[in-house]
Amino acid sequence: MDRISFTLVSEGSSDRALIPHLTWLLEQNGIDVPIDSEWADLRFLKEKPQGLIEKIKISFELYPCDLLFVHRDSDRETVGNRKNEIEDAVAKAFSEKAPTFICVIPVKMQEAWLLFDESAIRRAAANPKGNVKLNLPKIKSIERIADPKILLRDLIQRASELYGRHLKRLNLSHSISQVSQNINDFSPLRNLSAFQILDDDIRQFVNLIKTK
């Protein structure tokens, strides 16, 4: 295999921030060829897919790949229940052979997986040399945070050290999307159960393709 491609099917546009996590995990688990990644952007469709089954089917048709990542936040469900939901949807989406897929199921929201790298947050806030204390949560507690998205927004605003009208001009959506792009090492997340499951699934995929 000269290169490998993957497509991320996610709940919303902000979830494309997971692509650096997935690329890093593939590389860490032994993929040493170029990796082509796509986020399944379905916003341009006149008729939006109804439900997860349609979303998966259309995403693969529009963004064919070697590996399909399907993202669902666990929210109030267990990781096991979400995984069963995704597996059932993939099975129903394809009448013949389904593509190879891996479930991506952060506890709460994917923003929880961005709360561990202070330098990345400061750079995303366009203030890399700032010294205001951010007091990031301990890595083993981030899966228990009620709303990681709100906390990440607050941290970026604090890291920017902007006030008043200057703070209002801060493009938070852009800044949030930049956090994962600024992270070079996701290994601290291996302390989290949901990330460990994803890591194990990717390792199994890599081992499988290397035996072919």
pLDDT in tens, 9-59: 998 888 999 999 999 999 999 999 999 999 999 999 988 898 999 999 999
The CATH number of the domain holding residue 77 is 3.40.50.2300
pLDDT reading at 161 higher than 90:
yes
Domain extent, residue 8, equals 4-107+192-211
Are 35 and 132 in the same domain? no
Are 34 and 92 in the same domain? yes
Using CA atoms, how far residue 142 sits from 16, 107, 132, 168, 205, in Å, is 20, 9, 21, 27, 27
Q: Is residue 205 part of a domain?
A: yes
Kindly state the tokens that stand for 54.
């349609």
- Its pTM stands at 0.93
Q: What is the pLDDT of residue 211?
A: 79
3-state secondary structure at position 25: helix
SS3 breakdown of the chain: % helix, strand, coil, rounded to 5? 55, 10, 35
Q: How far is residue 196's CA from residue 198's CA, in Å, rounded to a whole number?
A: 5
Are 124 and 97 in the same domain? no
Average pLDDT over every residue of 57-74 = 95
Which range, of 3-7, 46-50, 75-79, averages the lowest pLDDT? 75-79
Number of folded domains that form the chain: 2
3-state secondary structure at position 200: helix
Q: Which residues pair with 38 in a beta bridge?
A: 7
Q: Is residue 39 part of a domain?
A: yes
11 or 119: whose pLDDT is higher? 119
Are 58 and 161 in the same domain? no
Are 73 and 87 in the same domain? yes
pLDDT reading at 76 higher than 80:
no
pLDDT, one tens digit per residue, over 91-100 is: 999 988 899 9
pLDDT reading at 79 higher than 90:
no
Are 95 and 74 in the same domain? yes
Q: Is residue 186 part of a domain?
A: no
Using CA atoms, how far residue 26 sits from 29, 34, 68, 186, 200, in Å, is 5, 11, 13, 12, 11
Q: What is the pLDDT of residue 28?
A: 97
Are 86 and 147 in the same domain? no
Are 52 and 89 in the same domain? yes
Are 20 and 84 in the same domain? yes
Are 166 and 200 in the same domain? no
- R_g over Cα of the chain: 18
Which residue has tokens 């601290």? 188
Helix (H) or strand (E) holding 201: helix 193-211
